[in-house]
Every structure is written in C-alpha cells, then in structure tokens.
Structure 1
Amino acid sequence: MNKQPDSAADNSPHKKVTRKVSVAVIGAGTAGQNAFRQARKLKDDVLIINEGFWITTCIAVGCMPSKLLIAAADRAHDANHSGEFGVHASAQINGKQVMDRVRAERDHFASYVKEQVESWPAETKIAGRAHINKKGLIEVNNELIEADKIIVATGSSTFIPDGWADKLGNTMLTSDTVFELADLPKSLAVIGAGAIGLELAQAFNRLGVDVTLFNRAKRVAGLKDDDINNKAIDCLNRELTMHLGSNITEVGTQADTGDESFRAFINYEDSAGQKQQWKGEYVLVATGRRNNIEELGIENLGVELDDKNRPKQLDKKTGKIGDLEVYIVGDANAHLPLLHVASDEGFSAGSLVCDNKTDAYIRPPATPFSIVFCSPQIVNVGMSLPEIQADSELEHVIGKVSFDNQGRSRVMGVNCGLLHIYGCKKTDRILGASMVGPDAEYIGHILAMAITNDLSIKDMLDTPFYHPTILEGLRTALRDVQRLMEIPYQSHDTQEGNF
C-alpha cells in the first residue's frame, strides 16, 4: 500500500519487499482473530502479525479472570450474609486457592484459543512488532511486507497516570497484573470507579480484603442518569468504602518498616476538600485503558488521530478510514471497547476486505449495550439520557421502577435497585435505558433486543412475564412508559411489589 511517492523518506533498513499479501491483520485479539478468520475464507494470502500473547485481552486479563474472581466473591458473600434467612454460616476463605482457581480456569479458556492459533499455517502468522513506514510498507522482524489492505486490531493497554509506576513500584497493580497475585492481599486501594474498578473492588472486598475505592467524580460506572447513579452509590455504599469526588495529590511508598501491609500510601483531598491519607499493601490502578496506536506508524497511511488517539473519519459501521484501504477495529479505534463490539467489527472488516462483496456479511453496528458485573449489576442500553435530552426532535418520557420492594427481589434479599426506560412519545419505541439492580444483565439483553428489532412498548407488554420473577419489574417500567405516553410528563416514582 504505497501512500507516499517513491521519493519520500523510508526509514526501513530493508531495500525491497520480501512478501506481498492481499490482507495484513495487525493484532491478534478478539477483533484481529475474527478479521483474520473471516478474510481467509475468501483470500488465500492473508497474514496476521502480533506482538505479545496470542490470546485475547478478555481471556487473559479481562472478562474471564474478573468473573472467576467475582464468582468466588459471591459465594463468600452469600455464606457470610445469609443470617436474615435463618441460615448462619461463616466463609473460610483460602486466598491462595481462590487465586489458583482464577488462573487455572483462565488458562483453561485460553487453551482453546491457543489451539486455534496453532492450527493456522506457519506462513500466515508472524510474531513481532509491526511498524508502517512512510511508503505504507509493514516492517516486522526482518521482513518488509506490502499489503493491499490493512486491518489494525492492536487492542488497548492499561492507562497509568504519569509517574505512578515509579512512585508505587511493586505495590502497584493493574488489571493486567492483579490476577497474578499468589494470595489475596490484606488491603487494597482501587483507583477508578469504572467497570473494572467497581467489579474488582467489590470482589476483593467480599473475599475479606480491606478495600477502599477512590474516584475523582461523584459517579460510578460512568452512569449518566443522575437518579440511577445516586441509587447505584446508595446500594454499593452498603458494603464498600468509597471516596467519590476525591482528588489524589500524591502516591508513593514508605521506607521499609518491616510491615508490608502499610507500605503504599495515597494522599488525597476528600469531597469536602479535607486532606486525608490512605495506607495499605497494594494500589490497584483502574483508571481506564488506551488504544495501542502509538508507534505503529498509522499516520504514515494518512490516518489522522485526535488528541485521544482516536482515528478521525472512522466509519463506525465498518471500521474503514475515509477512502483508505485501512480498517481500525476493536479497542484500537477507541469507539466502544467491548468484546462483542470488537468481535462484530473484526468480522465485518474481515468480510469487507475481500473482493466478493456479494457474499460478505457486514454486521450492522450493535445497539449500545454495557454491563458492569458488580452487585447489584449496572446496565446501560441504547441512547443515554443526555443524548436524548440534547436532541430537540425527541419527545421522551421516563418509565421507572424501584426494586427496593419488588416481589421476587425482596424474596431473594437483593432488593436494591432502580430502572429507567426512556420512551419516545412519537414512535412508541424504546430509545434507551439505564439500570442498577438484580438480574440487570438479563433485563438489559431484553431491552437491547427490543431496540435492535424495533419493538414497540405494546409489543413488549404483549410478551408474557412469569410470576414471581425479578423480570416483572421490567413490565412495571414498561407500563409506566405506556402510561406517560398518554398523559403529560410529570415527576413521579413508580414501585410495584408484584405480590
């Protein structure tokens, strides 16, 4: 792919192309592997290049090990908090066994991906760091590769504030390293109340670790609906120590005092502006992830990035960049860094790069959908409330249900939560929803399916809701939407026991 004239500077030590391919995929995570497999169905000369491990972020350091830790934590929590049912118990937690199982099961899942990668012909894969030079050629190891089309799927890495790694040393953990702990720590500060921070903070807390969660904003999980955010904070505060609205001014380690349990420290100003200090064993930095685009040389293909390393002129449906034969998919494009999105984007890009467009299956952009697997769970589907409010053409209502006294939720002892459904008065359709509560992952899937398939509120209410289930709360919120479609919107609070 020659994007510059021959006279342009070429920093490559190679003098001539060693290989020509129709498609080169850079990165072997979820998006890259899907793109590679799909492209190989229609092209014989597809190459995949990858630096580091050949398994996905989800399996290695993300979705799967975190859910394994949460599974152990939930069992401990249930054992320790069953007194209200007349069942009295106390969990005996073996930290080494907990962490051993997390790694063992993670490696079990990873083995299937490794087998698949090993089954690919050797000539189709290269282990090494790729760099795109000013002639649009890919430099990797001792090769110089010319590709007609390039799919960039280089994923993302943990973001660490400047200087923190040096100041915290081996007391600093990230989501990439925390699962390698041989045993559960005694104490842990978690920086960041996004999905990763919330899930890990609560899980470690339930496993007996003294956890303190810090976040600069008075928000959790990036919630944009104030009522849902406040309810989530209320529910989570019942078991988790959180300093929201805090400003961290300094991190570091103390001189060796012989007590490793209090070697790390965090100086911060609390939400009232008072100076405070935390001391403990480890600091888990969960301040987000950033796409791995830097140093790839993608700008040599004419790709422009904004100040957050997000590609401009990105077609969110296909990952294609403008008129270039370049596709940036998965976490690399920093659009929606979620596994199911990366999977769909990789699949679509792998189809698009092939000449046979008739047989190519391009998956439409998924309905926005995210789940945080804390307890209670947090879900966002479709448009956010600020997005809806910013569109003057959308006349909306907000159907509500509280789970604080919802029948099955109370039976199960998980009755803390709130669901908002944003309905469009003109179309009788669901625009979006936000929720904190029990079974939110299932309610979220139902709402995502309804939005994707353009179901009306009436269509949803024509569906049977079995009694007694937590899902009956969804029906209550839908009925509230329907009621508000017929009368002027007014502030209200809807709660249904479903007894």
Structure 2
Amino acid sequence: MNNDSTTNDNSSKKDITRKVTVAVIGAGTAGQNAFRQANKTIKNTIIINDGFWTTTCVTVGCMPSKLLIAAAERAHEAKYSEEFGIHSDVTINGKQVMARVQAERSHFESFLEKQVDSWPDDKKISGRAHINKDGLIEVNDELIKADKIIVATGSKPFIPDGWADKLGDTLLTSDTVFELSDLPDSIAVIGAGAIGLELAQSFARLGVSVTLFNQKNRVAGLKDDDINAKAIDCLGGEMTMNLNSSIDELGTQHNDNGNLVAFINYTDKDDIEGYWQGDYVLVATGRRNSIDKVGVENLGVELDDKNRPKNLDINTGKIGDLEVYIVGDANAHIPLLHVSSDEGFSAGSSVCPDNSGAYLRKPATPMSIVFCAPQIINVGMSLPEIEDESDLEFVIGKASFDNQGRSRIMGVNCGLLHIYGCKKTDKVLGASMVGPDAEYIAHILATAITNHITVKQLLDAPFYHPTILEGLRTALRDVQHKMDIPYQTIDTQKDNS
C-alpha cells in the first residue's frame, strides 16, 4: 500500500509520544509479512498505513485482473469454437462481469482484513507517515521514535504530467479500472507492458473496442526480438495495435451526440498522424514508488535518479549500515508479489534478535509471467544480458508451438520458446516465450536455474504425452544438440532450427 506524504516537519513543536523497537510503514504484501515476522519476537512493534489495509495484488492488481481475464477467456471460447463444430450466440452482460470481479475481489480481501483485524489495535495506526529531519515518524498527532524502520510503501500508477487534468473522468489506471460498474463501449490503452496488455486483451475479448498504444514496437517488455515479433503476431488479431507510435495530444471533447468522450491525436510508425475517440483512456505506463515523499533521506538513505535506494541488500532490504529496510515495490528492485513477500519476511526476520532466518533466502531467480493469451514469460537472464557477457558461450534452443501436438488439438497453437543454454556448464541461463501453458514452463525453468539443474538432468525427467510441456522438451533437445556443435559455427541470432 502506498504511503505518500508531504513534508510537515514541526517536530520542534512536539514531544515524542511513543518509542518503539520496530516501525513498519505500509501494509501491503511486504509490509504485512514484515510486521507479522517482527511481531513474533518483538512486542514493541507497530505498523502504519495510509489507505486500504489489504494489498495492491488483491485490491487493484493480480486478483481483479485475473478475474477479468477469466471472464474474457470464457467469452472468447464461447464465441470462437466453430472449428470444433460448436456454434453459439454469446451475450455479454457487462454489469454482471464487473459485479463478479468486485464481489470475488471482496472475497479475497476479506481474508486479509480478518488477519489485520486480529492484530492489536494499539499496534496499528491508520494515517500518512512522514519521517522528519530528526528521523522521527510523524503520523496524525503522534511523534514516534523507532529504533528500526521498515519502509514498505509500495507503488502507484505513473501518469505523465498533465494527463490527469486533460483527461478528467475519462482517465483510468489499474487502480481505478476495476471500479467500473459496466464495460465501456470503447477504450484506449496506453502502454503495452504486462498490465496494459492483459487488460487490453481482456476488454477486447469482452466485446469492448480496444486500441492499444505503445511508444516502442514491443509488448510485455520482451527483449528477445524473435519472441517479441511472435507475440505481436499472436496477439495482434484481437485488437488494434498502434505500436511504435507517439501520443501528440489527448483530452476530452463532446462527440456528435453531445456526450463527453476522450480523444487522442497520435503519430504512427509510418509518421502518419492518426486520431482516436472513445469512452476511456486507460493509462498503463508503469508503476512508480514514492519513497522520496516519505522522508527516507532524513534517515540517511540515498536515492538514485529513479527513486531507487542505494546500498540495498537485495536479500533483506537493509540499507547499508543503517537500521532502515526498504522492501517490496518501494525499493523498485523486482516489483513482483513473490519477491515482495520474501523481502518482507526477510526484513521482519532481520530486525529480530535471532535473525539468522533472514539470510536463508536465496536471491530470487528473475521470473515474470504475463497472463494474456498466449502467455508471455521471461525467466533468468535476458538475451541482451547474456550477449553483454563477452566470454559467455551460449546457444539458443527453440521450439515452435504452431504445430505442437497438444497445442494444435486445443486450438491454441501460436507460440515460440527460446531457451538460452550455457555451453560450458550445460545449464539454463534464461528463457523467453510466448505460448500456451507458458506459466508452467516458467516455473520448471526457474526451478532449474535456482537449483543449478543441467539441461541433461532436465531431459532425464519424463515428459508425458500428449502435453503442451512436450514443447519444453523440444527446446531442451535443441539446446543439447547445439551444445555439441563448435560454438563459432552457431549463429545464435539467425538459427531457425
């Protein structure tokens, strides 16, 4: 949960109202885990939070977006099953779709709320915290001295300067889109990252006219050009994609019926000016932390030009020799829930007298999953990172899912998998993929990287037939085959085997 603040340093006019051993600022995934862990052995612990006492994931992120995706998948399968001999007329009730999203979201929220309700009232403070120049925490009418501070203030959607004023009520972000009571007729999505791509496809499958804009000719942050091109090919038929385009102007105006709508003037990839008009503009240009507004600099924390803390211990979130921990999205290291959860646990362990458990966690293997259809994954090192290692000999094992047996049976046969293998160690360096069941392939490869499992050992495991996971075996066999070829003869960029 984000905990923005403006500076209000009036500590000289106040007396310290409370002294605590540990103060956690922010009650999202990282903050709640940190508080629970610290509170096991330290009685004098508090948690301060501004806004809802759930998490970004449950309230405005992972869960409501997957609820929308689930509805979209049902609609898509119902509408496009003619190849199986199944014909149907589909009616989408937008109000019912959004009502279920909100109801199920509330169901998930209730579990977190019940947990928070079980915490002692004197350890919970609802309010906006700011750390003043004396290193004291100001919140509501209190002035708190904490021996150790864990900052877990999360992130918020980034909105370019001026856009909020220009778009007014037609502006949506991932924090507000799930509050819609009905599906709109039309929407523009700006940003083709994970959030933008998932929501754009979901709305399109639910009958909304969707136009996706992105400044670069890329989707989902893909860094492997072949996988990116395949992803665009697989996804492009479901919505209008204006990739490699720039937004020249946007705002609101009245249409021919006198209704207030949003508009966008843009320049496309061919330098041709274009125009869009519709109900809403969903700005999905990323999320940013806001720890610069919490006052962490008054604790001696240094930030870089992107608001990321310097001297960060990626295992515990500890900042150098300071008794300050910055965890979860607040540190902008790897803004993913499983990482935030681990960081919160480790920080909460670290502040305890017996903190050995904090150092047992391995640094997380990078893994991202975009839940569009087909899914997009990145695991381990990216292709550019590998290429930057001049002495690293690698091969790329490839598997197409266009004619992969089970994928074709299910009618989801569009995809491509690249596995980057190290010739010296016979281990997986990383992978990138667009294709069906990619989320499971991501977990298998992440486990292999984390536990140093070789390609040969992966191939020794059984691959049941017929499954989509047989495509993983195809790519691994391609890696193994190329391992035996002299490295100088392999063109890792152009090989199409």
Same fold (TM > 0.5)? yes
Distance 2:155 2:386 in 1: 30
Q: Which AA in structure 1 matches 2:72?
A: A
Corresponding position of 1:345: 343
Q: Which AA in structure 1 matches 2:162?
A: G
Corresponding position of 1:83: 82
Give 1:293 shift: 1.0
Corresponding position of 2:287: 289
Corresponding position of 1:92: 91
Q: Which AA in structure 2 matches 1:449?
A: T
Matched, 1:442 2:445: no
Please tell me whether the aligned partners of residues 352 and 360 of structure 1 are also in contact (alpha carbons under 8 angstroms).
Answer: yes
Corresponding position of 2:416: 418
Please tell me whether the aligned partners of residues 49 and 130 of structure 1 are also in contact (alpha carbons under 8 angstroms).
Answer: yes
Corresponding position of 2:58: 59
Q: Which moved more, 1:391-400 or 1:484-493?
A: 484-493
Which aligned pairs between 1:1-80 and structure 2 lie closer than 5 A? 11-12=10-11, 14-80=13-79
Corresponding position of 2:214: 215
Give 1:74 shift: 0.3
Structure 2 CA distance for partners of 1:361 and 1:306, relative to 1, 3 Å: closer
Please tell me whether the aligned partners of residues 379 and 441 of structure 1 are also in contact (alpha carbons under 8 angstroms).
Answer: yes
Distance 1:206 1:357 in 2: 49
Distance 2:170 2:129 in 1: 32
Corresponding position of 2:392: 394
Q: Which AA in structure 2 matches 1:145?
A: I
Give 1:29 shift: 0.1
Distance 2:258 2:378 in 1: 43
CA deviations on 1:308-357 (whole Å, 9 max, x unpaired) are 11111111122111111111000000111110010000000000111212
Which aligned pairs between 1:226-241 and structure 2 lie closer than 5 A? 226-241=225-240
Q: Percent identity?
A: 73
Please tell me whether the aligned partners of residues 9 and 132 of structure 2 are also in contact (alpha carbons under 8 angstroms).
Answer: yes
Corresponding position of 2:171: 172
Corresponding position of 1:474: 472
Q: Which AA in structure 1 matches 2:52?
A: F
Please tell me whether the aligned partners of residues 14 and 144 of structure 1 are also in contact (alpha carbons under 8 angstroms).
Answer: no
Which aligned pairs between 1:323-342 and structure 2 lie closer than 5 A? 323-342=321-340
Please tell me whether the aligned partners of residues 347 and 362 of structure 1 are also in contact (alpha carbons under 8 angstroms).
Answer: no
Corresponding position of 2:426: 428
CA deviations on 1:109-160 (whole Å, 9 max, x unpaired) are 0001001001100111100011111111111111111111110000000100
Corresponding position of 2:370: 372
Distance 1:421 1:229 in 2: 14
Q: Which AA in structure 2 matches 1:71?
A: A
CA deviations on 1:184-227 (whole Å, 9 max, x unpaired) are 00000000000000000000000000000000000000000000
Q: Secondary structure at the match of 2:108?
A: helix
Corresponding position of 1:269: 267
Give 1:41 shift: 1.1
Give 1:91 shift: 1.6
Q: Secondary structure at the match of 2:125?
A: strand
Corresponding position of 1:354: 352
Q: Secondary structure at the match of 1:263?
A: strand
CA deviations on 1:381-418 (whole Å, 9 max, x unpaired) are 00000001101231111000000111110110000000
Q: Which AA in structure 1 matches 2:41?
A: L
Give 1:90 shift: 2.4
Please tell me whether the aligned partners of residues 415 and 435 of structure 2 are also in contact (alpha carbons under 8 angstroms).
Answer: yes
Matched, 1:104 2:103: yes
Corresponding position of 2:301: 303
Q: Which moved more, 1:137-146 or 1:377-386?
A: 137-146
Distance 2:495 2:390 in 1: 23
Q: Which AA in structure 1 matches 2:366?
A: P
Q: Which moved more, 1:477-486 or 1:287-296?
A: 287-296
Which aligned pairs between 1:73-222 and structure 2 lie closer than 5 A? 73-222=72-221
Matched, 1:319 2:317: yes
Give 1:292 shift: 2.3
Give 1:14 shift: 4.3
- Structure 1: gaps (5+ residues): 1-8, 495-499
Q: Which AA in structure 2 matches 1:422?
A: Y
Distance 1:257 1:141 in 2: 49
Structure 2 CA distance for partners of 1:41 and 1:190, relative to 1, 3 Å: same
Distance 2:429 2:137 in 1: 43
- Structure 2: gaps (5+ residues): 1-7
Please tell me whether the aligned partners of residues 99 and 179 of structure 1 are also in contact (alpha carbons under 8 angstroms).
Answer: yes
Please tell me whether the aligned partners of residues 417 and 433 of structure 2 are also in contact (alpha carbons under 8 angstroms).
Answer: yes
Select which of 484, 492, 495 maps to 2:495. 492
Structure 2 CA distance for partners of 1:175 and 1:75, relative to 1, 3 Å: same
Please tell me whether the aligned partners of residues 33 and 346 of structure 1 are also in contact (alpha carbons under 8 angstroms).
Answer: yes
Distance 1:359 1:280 in 2: 53
Matched, 1:247 2:250: no
Q: Secondary structure at the match of 1:254?
A: strand
Distance 1:267 1:363 in 2: 49
Give 1:259 shift: 4.5
Q: Secondary structure at the match of 1:434?
A: strand
Q: Which moved more, 1:358-367 or 1:89-98?
A: 358-367
Distance 1:492 1:10 in 2: 61
Corresponding position of 2:3: none
Q: Secondary structure at the match of 2:271?
A: coil
Please tell me whether the aligned partners of residues 417 and 437 of structure 1 are also in contact (alpha carbons under 8 angstroms).
Answer: yes
Give 1:62 shift: 0.3
Please tell me whether the aligned partners of residues 401 and 493 of structure 1 are also in contact (alpha carbons under 8 angstroms).
Answer: no
CA deviations on 1:440-477 (whole Å, 9 max, x unpaired) are 00000100011111100011000000000000000000
Q: Secondary structure at the match of 2:97?
A: helix
Please tell me whether the aligned partners of residues 418 and 431 of structure 2 are also in contact (alpha carbons under 8 angstroms).
Answer: yes
Q: Which AA in structure 1 matches 2:367?
A: F
Corresponding position of 2:4: none
Q: Which AA in structure 2 matches 1:115?
A: K
Corresponding position of 2:455: 457
Q: Secondary structure at the match of 2:390?
A: coil
Q: Which AA in structure 2 matches 1:328?
A: I
Give 1:257 shift: 4.7
Please tell me whether the aligned partners of residues 186 and 279 of structure 2 are also in contact (alpha carbons under 8 angstroms).
Answer: yes
Distance 1:24 1:226 in 2: 45
Q: Which moved more, 1:287-296 or 1:398-407?
A: 287-296
Structure 2 CA distance for partners of 1:291 and 1:452, relative to 1, 3 Å: same
Q: Which AA in structure 2 matches 1:327?
A: Y
Give 1:360 shift: 4.6
Q: Which moved more, 1:52-61 or 1:299-308?
A: 299-308
Distance 1:151 1:293 in 2: 12
Q: Secondary structure at the match of 1:294?
A: helix
Please tell me whether the aligned partners of residues 351 and 362 of structure 1 are also in contact (alpha carbons under 8 angstroms).
Answer: no
Distance 1:308 1:360 in 2: 27
Give 1:230 shift: 0.5
Please tell me whether the aligned partners of residues 186 and 210 of structure 2 are also in contact (alpha carbons under 8 angstroms).
Answer: yes
Q: Which AA in structure 2 matches 1:367?
A: T
Please tell me whether the aligned partners of residues 419 and 434 of structure 1 are also in contact (alpha carbons under 8 angstroms).
Answer: yes
Q: Secondary structure at the match of 2:293?
A: coil
Report how many aligned residue pairs link the two structures.
Answer: 485
Distance 2:302 2:279 in 1: 42
Please tell me whether the aligned partners of residues 316 and 358 of structure 2 are also in contact (alpha carbons under 8 angstroms).
Answer: no
